[in-house]
Structure 1
Amino acid sequence: MGGINLNESGLDFVRQVFVTFGGNTTVLTLFLLSVLYLALKGKKEERYVFVTTAVFLAFTVYNPFAVKYILGKLGMVNVYYRFFWILPMVLTIGYACTKVVGGQKKGWRRYLTAAVLAAVICFGGNSVLAGGLPKLPDNQYKMPDDLLAVCTVLHEEAGEGTVRVVFEPDFNLIVRQYDASFELVLDRDMVLTYQGSNTVSTDALTEQEIEDETKILQIITQMDLSLDQKEFYRSLREMNAEYIVLSSSSAAVSYVETAGCIPVREVEGHIIFRVEEK
């Protein structure tokens, strides 16, 4: 997950995940200070809502020992970052800051306190413009235009219903967000594993599926064209592939065509091949 491995990180895993997905620890520090302030200065109801919640979470999902020895066994490590979504940081910080400002006497002290807290919050986090201005999406689906064009042609060729397609990795990882009627010949976790990820597992696949998908990936991603073309085509048929989509510039184009796949259309820099039974 994000290059963070539980076995390698050990008890530091929780901190590393927060820094990686949260940007920095400024907000977390403000949250902890807010909890401490409410624990000391808050009313009984405030302590019950904010402090009790924070303590409970600290001893459960944010407890390094629990994460290492319990969540790891439950297979939840790869999605652990989602647990930070339930942490009421913004609500707690906002409430505590309001209470601090409201506790000051009316006049310059109240205004100064509000200004200082606002400055800490504004400048302590990451600017939304740090990575440059946001890029507007190509279309309303927030998908590459060439992917939409390829999907349209595939449905024109195959008709309605599900279609089993071999996509190159870039398309393979996002196409079903646009159109779930496409069945992926290459399993998502298999593609990530082949690319070197150590945060996913192929345990759900059979040995034969792993072997066949590896052969297909060898051709379309590694451009290792030493594999016998009959073996490649057999793997396509074993995986019930109906179409292959390759970039027009891919070195595998001529190999795939010679292996027996039939080019049917070229659209937006991609060639669509049909896989037929032999």
Structure 2
Amino acid sequence: MKIVDLFWEGISIIKQAISWYKGSGKLLELFLILLVLLLIFSEKNSFERRIAGYTILSIVVLCNPFVAVILKKIALETVYWRTLWILPIGSVSALGMVSVIKKIKKNWMKILLAFGFLMIILKCGSSLFTQDNFEKKENWYKIPNEVIKTADVILKDSKGTAKVLAPEEISTWIREYSADIIVPYGRGYIYGYDGWSGAIEYLREAWNGEYVDLGRIAEIEQAWNYEYLVMAKDKAEVGNVEALSYRLIGSTEKYNVFKYIGEE
């Protein structure tokens, strides 16, 4: 690949990263303006000047097209934009405002300018109190009641720690509800990280196909020594699951909970 192609690929990566990072507000633009003001008004060799220098250096490195390409390819393909989190936006913005205010001699003008900066911050950001940011949950755990009911069926039967195979859509919630329930969950489960790739892909194909592959799921359950199996009611008939040496121990509105009883 030509250097020019790498350069433009890096520019594309950076533009996407900045778009994700800044969101819909204008705080990033405000930060850049205040960074320039901090550089102008801070004294040579001062703490403020060093902070400004560090920040500018970080921007130059992180927003270098060739660095962006390298970081994306070696480890950060989907999360490169998070490297921008290391920029001290809050600290630099505050220092920039203070550096400007310190240049004002009259106290009443300092107060007025501080109030003006506050209004600018509010204007550049977005309101926290919107309908999209708040939602009335069904319970104190802030997870679906179906998950709680399903987990309670397992906990009542197990009387302690239980190893459970459950569909992806409820696995992480089950674990959040009770640490006594062990499930394959998280990014290792969903994306196949940390050496799980082959086995997890095998399991996910069984869960997510047009039809649930009960034989494959039972095979994995027994190979991993999992005791309980949670199946969506619309994915498998009770009789078909019980034919694989499982016993139905409880149900919720959407899920059936089975326990492996072994070959009789």
The separation in 2 between residues aligned to 1:86 and 1:230, in whole angstroms, is 48
- Whether the 8 Å contact between 2:189 and 2:196 is mirrored in structure 1 is no
Shift of 1:69: 1.0
The separation in 2 between residues aligned to 1:16 and 1:130, in whole angstroms, is 26
The residue aligned with 2:195 is 204
Shift of 1:206: 5.7
The residue aligned with 1:90 is 90
Shift of 1:51: 0.9
The residue aligned with 1:58 is 59
Which structure 2 segments of 5+ residues have no match?
1-7
The separation in 2 between residues aligned to 1:107 and 1:190, in whole angstroms, is 57
The separation in 2 between residues aligned to 1:15 and 1:53, in whole angstroms, is 22
Structure 2 letter corresponding to 1:205: W
SS at match of 2:195: coil
The separation in 2 between residues aligned to 1:11 and 1:240, in whole angstroms, is 49
The residue aligned with 1:154 is 154
Say whether residues 1:184 and 2:183 are aligned partners: yes
SS at match of 1:277: coil
SS at match of 1:128: coil
The separation in 1 between residues aligned to 2:24 and 2:92, in whole angstroms, is 18
Matched ranges for 1:4-43 at <5 A: 10-24=10-24, 26-43=26-43
Aligned pairs, number: 254
Shift of 1:140: 4.3
The residue aligned with 1:273 is 258
Say whether residues 1:256 and 2:256 are aligned partners: no
SS at match of 1:173: helix
SS at match of 2:150: helix
The separation in 2 between residues aligned to 1:84 and 1:130, in whole angstroms, is 26
The residue aligned with 2:4 is none
Deviation per CA, 1:127-155: give whole Å up to 9, x if none: 21344462255444433333233323312
Residue 9 to residue 275, structure 1, CA distance change in 2 (3 Å): farther
Say whether residues 1:166 and 2:153 are aligned partners: no
TM-score, normalised relative to structure 2? 0.77
Structure 2 letter corresponding to 1:184: V
TM-score, normalised relative to structure 1? 0.74
The separation in 1 between residues aligned to 2:66 and 2:259, in whole angstroms, is 52
Deviation per CA, 1:140-174: give whole Å up to 9, x if none: 4433333233323312212323x221112221233
**Larger mean Cα displacement after TM superposition, 137-146 or 82-91:** 137-146
Residue 51 to residue 26, structure 1, CA distance change in 2 (3 Å): same
The separation in 1 between residues aligned to 2:237 and 2:115, in whole angstroms, is 62
Shift of 1:84: 3.4
The residue aligned with 2:207 is 217
SS at match of 2:129: coil
The separation in 2 between residues aligned to 1:108 and 1:177, in whole angstroms, is 52
The residue aligned with 1:246 is 231
Q: CA RMSD in A?
A: 3.3
- Whether the 8 Å contact between 2:246 and 2:259 is mirrored in structure 1 is yes
Deviation per CA, 1:222-253: give whole Å up to 9, x if none: 4415x5x54553343234332122344x2324
The residue aligned with 1:5 is none
Which structure 1 segments of 5+ residues have no match?
1-7, 193-199
Shift of 1:42: 0.8
- Whether the 8 Å contact between 1:232 and 1:259 is mirrored in structure 2 is no
Residue 129 to residue 14, structure 1, CA distance change in 2 (3 Å): farther
Matched ranges for 1:228-243 at <5 A: 229-243=214-228
SS at match of 2:231: strand
The separation in 2 between residues aligned to 1:61 and 1:216, in whole angstroms, is 41
The residue aligned with 2:99 is 99
- Whether the 8 Å contact between 2:139 and 2:145 is mirrored in structure 1 is yes
Deviation per CA, 1:241-275: give whole Å up to 9, x if none: 32122344x23244434544321012464321112
The separation in 2 between residues aligned to 1:201 and 1:57, in whole angstroms, is 32
The separation in 2 between residues aligned to 1:9 and 1:130, in whole angstroms, is 36
SS at match of 1:274: strand
The separation in 2 between residues aligned to 1:150 and 1:125, in whole angstroms, is 41
Residue 179 to residue 214, structure 1, CA distance change in 2 (3 Å): same
Structure 2 letter corresponding to 1:66: V
